[in-house]
Amino acid sequence: MNAAACEAFLRALPKTDLHVHLDGSLRLESLIEMARERGVSLPSMNCEGMRALVFKDRYANLVEYLHGFAYTCAVLQDAESLERAAFELAEDNFAEGVRYFEVRFAPQLHAHAGLGMDDVLKAVDRGLARAAVRWNRRLRRDDSRAAEPEYAYAITVCAMRYFDQNFSSYYKDLFRVHPFSPPKQVLQFGSLELAQAAVAIRDRFGIPITGFDLAGREEGYPAEDHRRAYEYAHKNFLKKTVHAGEAYGPESIFQAITDLHADRLGHGYYLLSPNMVAAPAIADKKEYVRRLAEYIADRRITLEVCLTSNMQTNPSIKSLSRHAFMKMRKARLSTTLCTDNRLVSNTTVTKELMLAVEHFGLTQHELKNIVIYGFKRSFYPGSYIEKRTYVRRVIDWYERVQASHQTSDCFWNRARPLDL
């Protein structure tokens, strides 16, 4: 199977994206159009210019990578824009065979006096739901597609490890309400307020908010500072994921699973890197990492791996074949491949899978495990029985797609598969 045929096969497979940011995944044309309509100044008002100046193929570091979010967040300050961005993101996912995805974003970056937290979440849900209804109607109209799994989505809200009053109107008001509190305490108030609001809005409006996340600068802003918010999320049955080990070492991941009860880990790139252990109290760094990885493997805490994003934000990764994903596979960790940001990283789920096949010699068995893990470890909004039924339909459909493509001659490795 040549590269084009292999890509067509990957595109046809039922897929997930469990780690994709709404504000990092706008269509570039839509960003420019919304900026023009709302008077938001961009470095360029055409796609070529924005690709050259902001949304590049390679970034110097994470700070440069995050620069583009200032423009996307600036246009997502009203319900119409949020609904449009959510609808288009769902359309783009469903069009490439992503049957289920979890969009994450920080509602506090979009809320203000004229747009409450509930308005933000309802607008995003309207856009996602409209796309899901549209694509599922197509399935029901065609009897030959009755066996296919439906298109579905869920929402994960993101707390911020760090913010200041310049991040948004909401955060400015938060500092105003707590004028005598130290900054670290205001950060704690912000994450707790988000957890409380997410649970209340979920329960009141029936919005499929199933996940709680912590994103942003790791170094100097430990996960343990947000323990109260995660305890609230935990007690109110929100699933928990944490950006950890993306730009800091294994201790950040340790905090995520011990202090925050993480069910999944965003990135986890440095999980298997003893040289990144910073705490002087940890004498045997290799043993610390070994025990941490063993615990994560045994508990099947899934790593949301974002290959392109990691390459763009981490200059130390000289080639994709040196990405930690290879070590993760050898350690039999539960992994799923995600986009992180479709616009900022100029990627799709199909591209991420293609990169994995090309650079890591995946067997068909390994590919299937990675894809199916995305469904199994998802924060699916239905009941456990409904999720099991859905996953079974996904597996059946995967096998049908595989049988309909000539995959035996694909360029992936035919060696004995790793049992992931």
* Contact by Cβ (8 Å): 365, 410: no
In terms of Cβ atoms closer than 10 Å to its own Cβ (0-12, 13-18, 19+), residue 68 is: buried
CA 193-199-204 angle, to 5 degrees, is: 120
Quote the pLDDT of residue 410: 58
Residue 1: what pLDDT?
57
pLDDT digits (tens, 9 = 90+) for 63-113: 889 899 999 999 999 999 999 999 999 999 999 999 999 999 999 999 999
- Per-residue confidence at 361, pLDDT binned at 50, 70, 90? confident
Asked if the model's pLDDT at residue 419 lies above 60, the reply is no
pTM of the model: 0.95
How confident is the model at residue 61, as a pLDDT? 80
Q: Which domains does the chain show, CATH number per domain? A: 3-404 (3.20.20.140)
Helix (H, G, I), strand (E, B) or coil at 126: helix
Closest by Cα among 208, 24, 19, 40 to 124: 208
Give mean pLDDT, residues 117-136: 98
31: Cβ–Cβ under 8 A, 6 or more apart, which residues?
Answer: 42, 50, 71, 72, 75, 343
Q: Residue 412: which pLDDT band, with cuts at 50, 70 and 90? A: low
Rounded Cα distance, 224 and 60, in Å: 29
For the stretch 386-408, pLDDT in tens is: 999 999 999 999 999 999 986 55
Q: How far apart are CA 39 and CA 60, in angstroms?
A: 29
Which of 218, 246, 251, 352 is catalytic? The answer is 246
Q: Is 146 exposed, middle or buried (0-12, 13-18, 19+ CB in 10 A)?
A: exposed
- Residues whose CB is less than 8 angstroms from the CB of residue 215 and which lie 6 or more positions away in sequence, other chains included: 104, 106, 158, 159, 160, 161, 243, 266
Tell me the residue ranges of DSSP E strands in 62-201: 98-105, 152-160
Q: Which of 329, 306, 304 is nearest to 416 (CA)?
A: 329
- pLDDT score of 408: 52
pLDDT tens digits along 127-158: 999 999 999 999 999 888 888 999 999 999 99
Interval 289-302 mean pLDDT: 97
Q: What angle do CA 391, 396, 401 make, to 5 degrees?
A: 120
Which two structure tokens, joined as six digits, stand for 19? 């780690």
User: Predicted confidence band at 409 (pLDDT cuts at 50, 70, 90)?
Assistant: low
* CA gap 362, 10 in Å, rounded: 13
* Per-residue pLDDT tens digits for 6-62: 999 999 999 999 999 999 999 999 999 999 999 999 999 999 999 999 999 888 887
Dihedral over Cα of 288, 294, 299, 301: its sign: positive
Closest C-alpha to 196, from 235, 165, 141, 164: 235
pLDDT band at 420 (very low <50, low <70, confident <90, very high): very low
pLDDT at 217: 86
Strand 239-244, strand 264-267: pairing? parallel
pLDDT at 413 over 80: no
* Mean per-residue pLDDT, 354-372: 93
Q: Please tell me the number of Cα atoms within 13 Å of 222 on its side-chain side.
A: 12
Q: Which residues contact 326 (CB under 8 A, 6 or more apart)?
A: 360
Q: How large is the average pLDDT for residues 369-386?
A: 97
Query: What pLDDT shows up at residue 214?
Result: 98
Active site residue 102: no
Q: Is residue 414's pLDDT more than 60?
A: no
Mean pLDDT, all residues of the chain:
94
Euclidean distance between CA atoms 203 and 257, whole angstroms:
26
Lowest mean pLDDT among 139-143, 337-341, 407-411: 407-411
Written as one string, the DSSP assignment of 95-114 is: HTTEEEEEEEE-GGGT-BTT
Q: What is the pLDDT of residue 418?
A: 45
Residue 288, pLDDT > 90, answer: yes
Task: Tell me, rounded to whole angstroms, the distance of Cα 127 from its chain centroid.
Answer: 18
